[in-house]
Amino acid sequence: MYEILIKILSESLLSLYPVFVKNIDLALDLQVWSRFFSYVIVAGFFIDYKYVYENVFSKNGMLLSLITLVHVYVSYRGFQLLESGLSYTLFYLYPIMILLMSGRAIHPIMAVSLLGVYLLTSGEAFSGVNVKGIEGIIMILIAALTEAFIYFVVRGMKTDNSWNHLFLSYFLGVFVMSFFVYDRFHEFLELGTANVLNISIAINVVIGLFGYLLRLYAIPRLDILTYSVLSYVGVVMAYIYGMIFNGDKITFEKVLGTVCIIIPNLYLSNTEI
C-alpha cells in the first residue's frame, strides 16, 4: 500500500512544475539554469565518479546532455505559455512516441490520442489567432519527443546507479546555461531576484529531485498496470493545481481530450500488439 502512496506523492510533486514555471517571478533562462545547477550539485554527492568520468564525454553522454538541455528549455517554455493541465496532458503523449520509436506496430487506438490532442488544442490555440498558444503546443510536443529520445539514450547507458544518469543528463547544461546568464547576474541581483533564485533552486530540489527519487523507488515495486494507471494522477493534479493557482477552467472538451490521450497510453503500455 505504501508503494502506491509513494507513487501518488511523486506524481503530485512533479505535476507542480507547470504551475511553478508559470508563476515564479524569474526569467525563463534563469529558471532553467537553477534546475540544472541544483540537480548537478545534489547528484554529485551520490554518483559513481569512475562511471561518470568514463561516460561524460562519450557519444551517448554528450547526446544525453544535449537532448536534456533542449528538453528542459522547451518544456519550461510550453509550461509558461499553456494552462497547467493542458501542457501536462500533451506532454504525456511521450509513452506512445516511445512505443512507435521502439518499432511497435501502429495500432488503430493511437488515433484516439490524436483526437484528444485536437480536443485539447482546438479551443486553446486555434480559436482565432493565438500565436503564444500555438508556440506553447509546439514546445510541449517537442518536450514529449525529447523525453522519448532520453528514454532510449538512458537505456543504452548501463548503470545500476540512477544518480549517474541524472548527473550526466544535466552536467553540460550547467555550463551552457551559466554562459548565457553570467553577464546578467548583476542585473538579476539589482532587480532583487536573489531570493527568488534561491527559492527556485530549493523548489527544484524538493519538487524535482525528491519527486523523481520517489518515482524511481516505485518503479520496481509496482506492477506495470498499477504503475501506468497511477502515472496519470499527475495529469489530474496538474488540472487541480491550475484551477487553484492560475484560475484555469475545466471544460468538457478538456476532460474528453485528456481521457482520449490517457486511454490509448494505458492500453498500449499493458497490451502486446
> Residues 82-100, buried b or exposed e (16+ Cβ, 10 A)?
bbbbbbbbbbbbbbbbbbe
* 159 Cβ contact partners less than 8 Å away, ≥ 6 residues apart: 48, 51, 165
**Phi/psi of residue 6, nearest 5 degrees:** -65, -45
Give the orientation angle of helix 94-101 with respect to helix 110-124, to 10 degrees: 140
The larger pLDDT score, comparing residue 72 to residue 198, is at 72
Is the predicted pLDDT of residue 124 greater than 60, yes or no? no
How far apart are alpha carbons 85 and 241 in whole angstroms?
8
Between CA 58 and CA 147, with CA 62 as vertex, the angle to 5 degrees is 130
Cell 554518483 belongs to 47
Do 205 and 40 meet the contact criterion of CB atoms below 8 Å apart?
A: no
pLDDT of residue 191 exceeding 60: no
Residue 203 · residue 20 · CB < 8 Å: yes
Q: Is the dihedral of CA 146, 228, 79, 96 positive or negative?
A: positive
Q: Which three cell numbers stand for residue 161?
A: 546507479
**What is the CB neighbour count within 10 angstroms for residue 59?**
10
- For residues 87 and 140, the answer to whether their CB atoms sit within 8 Å is yes
What's the pLDDT at 69? 96
Centroid of chain to Cα 61: 20
The pLDDT of residue 241 is 93
> pLDDT tier at 193 (50, 70, 90 boundaries)?
low
pLDDT digit string, tens, across residues 94-103: 888 988 888 8
Cβ atoms of residues 87 and 257 within 8 Å? no
Q: Is it the case that residue 129 has pLDDT exceeding 50?
A: no
Q: Tell me the CA distances in angstroms from 192 to 181, 195, 200, 206, one per residue in order.
A: 16, 7, 14, 23
Which pLDDT tens digit goes with each residue over 142-160? 999 999 999 899 888 988 8
pLDDT digits (tens, 9 = 90+) for 85-120: 989 999 999 888 988 888 877 888 888 998 998 888
Tell me: the pLDDT tens digits for 218-271? 877 888 778 888 888 999 999 999 999 988 888 888 899 999 999 888 888 776
Q: Over the stretch 159-186, which tens digit does the pLDDT of each residue have?
A: 888 899 999 999 999 999 988 887 766 6
According to the model, what pLDDT value does residue 12 have? 93
The pLDDT score that the predictor gives to residue 123 is 65
